Structure 1
């Protein structure tokens, strides 16, 4: 029987290599500058210069690759553009200082780069592979730091959890990166878009690093998101059905046989009281919601900040957006999740749809204990990847199509200016 599995749908205009570099620079920009102490002390100003320089370079490269400013209609990027409105209005009051305007400029460059990249969003797997490669390289620096200096990579300050010893990465960051590339690689392997050796090379080390971070949010997001993604493939993929069955059996056996060990790992040595208030997060959330606000502050927020309240991290995307971009921002972020989720449900079963469901589910779950849905962050990149996977294939562009394709296009069509 002929193989009827969907194949990667290349962009009619081809995807330049510079696009992969742009995606990697966007990831570098969202790594952040605050975290654990590194083996070689890196000034925060130097790290910020590198991350911001990466964003400027990404925008410049994307613009050079798309000089004609050809962009695709994207509800996701359009909603992000609308999110700039409350961000600028609230930041213009300077209640959060001049840093708020700087963060607005950063978000504007980030959104502008996504608009330029939208030209190459045909619903294929090109950006998925870029995503996995770059984040796997980031995890490689974490593993290298663990080998070079285990004490710096597993500091007592973080309770022995894995941190970045070469680049200042926190345990939640490492756990997030590991969980995302594990989920995407598993889905690629199930659909035979990658060989077993390559999949194992990515999944096994990433699982080890995820376990060393003791990050509960990333672990739950991985398993729940992957379960939802695989369920979307059950009717069309025998491999997905087998994997789902064996995974359920494995989880049941592990839950019965290793219940005490799993509970100890999950609690991370915390008391039940500390665990119930989410390691102190609930106290910050209650104080933030109880703070008096004017009608304008409720609508537009206080301006883009460092996702903290009274010097303590908010660690909740929805409350962080409420604090910085108000109820309007919360509504726009909710619209992003609902629109992407609705489009994913309406798409026919496919690997692209499964990957998008995994990414959307993961970001929705992580939003409860992690901030980032209202500003340039890895979570917005994950959702941008989901949007690219859900994009309909583009029509052929005769001006920039590969030579083998151009030969099939009539001369009059090649010579005609396409607007």
Structure 2
């Protein structure tokens, strides 16, 4: 090797392969610290409002922890990607454009400085995703990070249930499970449980994990989901799994068997436990209250009937706490319309449509199935949950779907320049031959 270099000749091989100018080299592997960045992003989206905890945590302390997690996530991602190698895509581009109506509407200081603070938070969140995009290669690496992260969150809720059942199942929430150690609401716990159940089921079907490991995640998550009585999460999980497994039916025998068994079990459950399922679904509410979506429709009607100027219709009122008249909006589309206007609604719709379109055009595979599950779950949940226009778990789910739909960055070798070519490759036996003395050559 040294002799070749001395004479201006380099061996040609994988270790010296070059890429074309402008081609992004494929990373050798995803650093473990990337999982820490993903977990910090998840911690930031947990929020600071929720049920009363066993040990009272000041809201200012929780906000300091969540915002500190976001700053730490951005700093660590920047340290891992100092050369700022990114992978541009429609998802991140549209998400960055969403900052425009957010900042224009939030610049009106009549809505308070909190709107500008939320804009800065959203910008830092999007910037961290840009830095992580270098490692988005269509693999299941981020799926495993996602499952581990939310499973840890669910275990805090389970620990609170064991330590203080009364605090974890308060009457103020109708006996539904809440976070007794960290202020988590029933819809939050239900969302996290539904997402990791669906992803873990798909990993089992794709034979990317063992049945025992999957059961350790699925069984306790199912119990927690049942205790939250969260209808949106349950319906979103079931429909998402149907669509995701349906995308694998033609190419996976395991998916076909699972689909057949699921249909059989569902039929038996509906026939044999119809009354119990109806009672769980209604949560003790009257049918009239249920048809009004637990009072959400009144808030939606009032929001749409409120007078707005043309600028407020186009750009919104500024980023807020996703409430109207002191009541939660609980609808992503109306929340985006209220805070980011018609431009925000258009951008969010474009994000979902493009991700769904790319997923449909991809050939059948396990990453594609996971992406379909996440996109369909978020689309269904957006009707009764807010969060698509701000840093939230729903945007993190869509970011995971975008990473699964990304194609691996392949390095394209260049032709080796003439002065670096070897006319005849030196073989190992020839390299070990004894050098002929000068006198013998005479």
TM-score by shorter chain over 0.5: yes
1:129 alignment partner in structure 2: 144
- The equivalences for 1:354-393 within 5 A come to 354-393=369-408
Q: What corresponds to 1:40 in structure 2?
A: 55
Kindly report which structure 2 residues correspond to 1:297-336, keeping only aligned pairs within 5 A, or say none.
297-336=312-351
Which residue of 1 is the match for residue 417 of structure 2?
Answer: none
Shift of 1:397: 9.8
Q: CA deviation at 1:147?
A: 0.3
- The answer to whether the Cα contact below 8 Å between 1:95 and 1:302 also exists between their aligned partners in 2 is no
How many residue pairs match? The answer is 391
Structure 2 alignment gaps of length 5 or more: 1-24, 414-419, 422-442
Q: TM-score, normalised by structure 2?
A: 0.87
Match status 1:291 vs 2:303: no
Is 1:212 paired with 2:231?
no
Q: 2:100: which partner in 1?
A: 85
Q: 1:18-167, aligned counterparts within 5 Å?
A: 18-167=33-182
Answer yes or no: is the 8 Å Cα contact 1:104–1:304 preserved in 2: yes
C-alpha contact (below 8 Å) 1:225/1:359 kept by paired residues: yes
1:228 aligns with: 243
Query: What pairs up with 1:181-260 in 2 under 5 angstroms?
Result: 181-260=196-275
TM normalised by structure 1 equals: 0.92
Once residues 301 and 335 of structure 2 are traced to their aligned partners in structure 1, the CA distance between those partners, rounded to angstroms, is 13
Please say if 1:178 is aligned against 2:193.
Answer: yes
Q: Partner of 1:7 in structure 2?
A: none
Aligned mates of 2:278, 2:109 — CA distance in 1: 46
1:18 shift after superposition? 1.2
Match of 1:402 in 2: none
Please report how far the alpha carbon of residue 396 of structure 1 lies from its aligned counterpart in structure 2 after TM superposition.
4.1
Which residue of 350, 357, 377 corresponds with 2:365?
350
Higher mean C-alpha displacement, 388-397 vs 32-41: 388-397
CA shift for structure 1 position 11: 5.6
Aligned 8 A contact 1:34 1:169 in 2 = yes
Choose 1 or 2 for highest CA Rg.
2
Compute the RMSD of aligned alpha carbons: 1.3
User: What's the CA shift for 1:146?
Assistant: 0.3
Find the counterpart in structure 2 of residue 409 from structure 1: none
Distance 1:153 1:397, change over 3 A: farther
Q: Which runs of 5+ in 1 are unaligned?
A: 1-9, 399-411, 414-419
Q: CA deviation at 1:64?
A: 0.3
Deviates more, 1:389-398 or 1:346-355: 389-398
Verify the 8 A CA contact 1:94 1:303 in the aligned structure 2.
no
**Deviation readout 1:201-242 (Å, 9 max, x if unpaired):** 000000000000000000000000000000000000000000
| Conserved? CA contact 1:318–1:368, under 8 Å | yes
Confirm or deny: 8 A CA contact 1:12 1:397 kept in the other structure. no
Question: What CA distance in whole angstroms lies between the structure 1 residues aligned with 2:267 and 2:27?
Answer: 46
